[in-house]
Structure 1
């Protein structure tokens, strides 16, 4: 009796999907933007009735988050993203300057591999599939093992709608057998043009080692500064709603609060009124025992849990209105476990005497681990806002808005996205919200508008005498030789 090697089967499946995706990508090169748009629209419409069902399935399978919020994220990807994509040109002639006689042509990359996290499995899958097809690429989805069934069902529904709208058969596929070896096979294959990795930091060393183009939707771990001129009640409301959305599982959510000294006591009172529980040292240590394993790694079983559930596990007595934990600290330290990113409704809190020192504290927080992609500021002082925007080592700055919804483009006019690029992570640099424009190459076309010698009008008379007998125009060789000689002299 032969033993079936699942790793070998997974590798074979990966190769089959790559070959099918390659053939589909070749066919898609001949699709117009209108044809691609029809497929995208049909997929988006087809997914709307399943948004809640898939959200519930994701929570059941992963035990992460809150299905009501996941359903909203799913609808955001179906409705809001597709609306934003409508009428946008990403392939073919995307820009034309008749005056300067130039063209820009969008060229699809080819085969895209998308690694989907367990935290937002459905909304991220929908988003990445829509932008891949919008930009004329084929896509292979590799699901996180913890959310495999939900992601596979999501891709199945997307593919059925896309095929009915005219997509080539290999244009969308999903791995059924998921393993480390099959992931390696997808990432390293010569036909993989680009990999999109959303919120899976353990894969970063491997991605760099592969030496192939990738986009990494980095960790959030971002601070929020509450400045003295802000609408304090609204600012606290935004932060609490943002950090507790889907039980804190969205990486773009606020991780640390930096308070302006003169309003710190009022801010703490407002946090208490809106459901915050300030942790004592003993409570913080008990909570860490739930959040972190003995080896220092994040405990996956604590991800996406409500404050009430975490309190129960850590044996912390809290009010029934408690929605979020606050742990006040003095310093940012690599050895402080509260400096890392938690996917739970927990924030660290720092108090600084003025905005200048708050600015420095935010830089420390952003640089800690080098992973933060978003900073939020609540303020009415435009000068302070501009100073923060100019000086922070961060991909995006959000002003007077919840980080979770503002970062993904729901409450701001940033491109609506479930994959938020970072400033430094990814061979394909993408600090923007990832969109179809990151999945195409821009081919520049320039028409000739002047003769070579017209580029150097001051040299025209001198060069003309060296031209060949009977030729009124100097040759390029003569002009270049003359210019080189003049440089040497």
Structure 2
């Protein structure tokens, strides 16, 4: 293919896909809830056994994370998501309030444009396909070019299962020639009804600027506060299990440990005991040098990498048992790499005097790139936990749990999801873990109520001339007496 024509071919491919998806979705919109549920079940059954294969494929193609953890994410995206949504009513009459005489009717949004990142490619595709079809929609994927092969394979598996279960041909698509021009065409196409964007802040901003309704998620810069009453061993164990999960590629993974001075040494010793290594001097300088690009963005060469990989890239020696590289930091700002989001095996470490100062510091960290996303606290003091929760601009406030697993609904009862809303403060249209109910329109049928009749009768009575009636009564009595 002539590289000069790649953008044009990509745009035409998108136009063809939208036309086919539109036709298929109009047919799919007539399906019953039972038929839709059978198709969603078939896709889950097809994807779940392929979790390991797809995890390996994604890890090999992108170089990000660990295939073992990508397998787990694929299992969550298929089975856990399915188990959560299988009983949902999304099409037709979904709720009826007999007392208030209101009937809610679910209708599909239509065609969904789904933007997929390279950090979590296969799991995000599985999850988005399940929730899109569960709500009666068609879906077209714009894949990250660095994860094209694994995304296309995932779409192939899901589409085959859907069609064999009775779905119309053309309901699920994926761009095979991903370009910026093609993605812009997809987002701005008039027949596309909603954008479901997962990825970097630039991508999400483009989605919201497209003119098409969008659900996007911003970056996470998750602080984890270890308060003095916490079980320190368990807190570090949970933070490390989250931060090392797929080498930190989930945006809900912890980015900084914040703890109080009275337990700081104990926390640091526990960090070291469990595989943390504090960088200082020249080692720290060399790691900082490879953390970001010239424009201040995350360096893709270290995203989703192990501590050993990062050390090798930076040209430093670290102990073999090292799981996480840490920097004792005091500052927060756009030019302080450790105070920002780091989707890899790097953590900042802050020490404060008390929980009030921790509250202020966590707010600053969130303001530095994670507003509306997630915050974690490890504490046994319910009063402080509640005070902290009331003051933090986040959509998920997690207590005594790993942030990654807690935010996506694995270690909490939150809805299993790979699109985590950040609310208005984070530039998102929702603060929820996005699911099928975010991908439907609800038509409300409301009956007139008796109060209207009573009001009308009262108005009619108020129009009666009381004095005239009184005169008639008096005249009638006089005539009777005479």
Same fold (TM > 0.5): yes
Cα shift readout 1:302-332 (whole Å, capped 9, x = no counterpart): 1111001111221222111100011111122
Distance in 2 (alpha carbons) for counterparts of 1:425 and 1:210: 20
Cα pair 1:127 1:417 within 8 Å, conserved = yes
Aligned match of 1:382: 382
Cα shift readout 1:30-67 (whole Å, capped 9, x = no counterpart): 11211111000000001122111111111111111111
Higher mean alpha-carbon deviation, 202-211 vs 192-201, is at: 202-211
Distance in 2 (alpha carbons) for counterparts of 1:209 and 1:93: 33
1:316 aligned to 2:316?
yes
Aligned match of 1:330: 330
1:289 aligned to 2:292?
no
Cα shift readout 1:325-383 (whole Å, capped 9, x = no counterpart): 11111122232122221111111111111111111111111111354500011111111
Aligned match of 2:99: 99
Aligned match of 1:470: none
Aligned match of 1:53: 53
Distance in 1 (alpha carbons) for counterparts of 2:254 and 2:433: 17
Distance in 1 (alpha carbons) for counterparts of 2:85 and 2:179: 33
Specify every segment of 5 or more residues in structure 2 that has no aligned partner in the other structure, as ranges.
467-482
Aligned match of 1:172: 172
Higher mean alpha-carbon deviation, 148-157 vs 275-284, is at: 275-284
Distance in 1 (alpha carbons) for counterparts of 2:461 and 2:181: 68
Give secondary structure in 2 for the equivalent of 1:409. coil
Cα pair 2:331 2:339 within 8 Å, conserved = no
Specify every segment of 5 or more residues in structure 1 that has no aligned partner in the other structure, as ranges.
467-489
**Shift of residue 217, structure 1, vs aligned partner:** 2.2
Distance in 2 (alpha carbons) for counterparts of 1:376 and 1:397: 6
Aligned match of 1:84: 84
TM-score between the two structures when normalised by the length of structure 2 = 0.93
Distance 1:50 1:286, change over 3 A: same
Distance 1:179 1:426, change over 3 A: farther
Q: Which entry has the higher C-alpha Rg, 1 or 2?
A: 2
**Shift of residue 295, structure 1, vs aligned partner:** 3.7
Distance in 2 (alpha carbons) for counterparts of 1:199 and 1:241: 23
Matches within 5 A, 1:243-282: 243-282=243-282
**Shift of residue 465, structure 1, vs aligned partner:** 5.3
Cα pair 1:212 1:427 within 8 Å, conserved = no
Aligned match of 2:401: 401
Aligned match of 1:478: none
Higher mean alpha-carbon deviation, 100-109 vs 148-157, is at: 100-109
Distance in 2 (alpha carbons) for counterparts of 1:188 and 1:179: 14
Distance in 1 (alpha carbons) for counterparts of 2:5 and 2:376: 49
Distance 1:32 1:427, change over 3 A: farther
Distance in 2 (alpha carbons) for counterparts of 1:298 and 1:88: 39
Distance 1:323 1:463, change over 3 A: farther
Higher mean alpha-carbon deviation, 221-230 vs 280-289, is at: 280-289
Aligned match of 1:369: 369
Higher mean alpha-carbon deviation, 206-215 vs 407-416, is at: 206-215
Give secondary structure in 2 for the equivalent of 1:5. helix
Aligned match of 1:440: 440
Cα shift readout 1:398-421 (whole Å, capped 9, x = no counterpart): 111000000000000100001111
CA RMSD of aligned residues (A): 1.9
Cα pair 1:215 1:426 within 8 Å, conserved = no
1:13 aligned to 2:13?
yes
Give secondary structure in 2 for the equivalent of 1:176. coil
Cα shift readout 1:421-474 (whole Å, capped 9, x = no counterpart): 1123788711111100110112222111225353488756324559xxxxxxxx
Give secondary structure in 1 for the equivalent of 2:141. strand
Distance 1:313 1:352, change over 3 A: same
Distance 1:186 1:2, change over 3 A: closer
Cα pair 1:194 1:215 within 8 Å, conserved = yes
**Shift of residue 270, structure 1, vs aligned partner:** 0.6
Matches within 5 A, 1:204-223: 204-223=204-223
Matches within 5 A, 1:145-156: 145-156=145-156
**Shift of residue 82, structure 1, vs aligned partner:** 0.7
Distance in 2 (alpha carbons) for counterparts of 1:292 and 1:69: 25
Aligned match of 1:113: 113
Cα pair 1:118 1:144 within 8 Å, conserved = yes
Aligned match of 1:411: 411
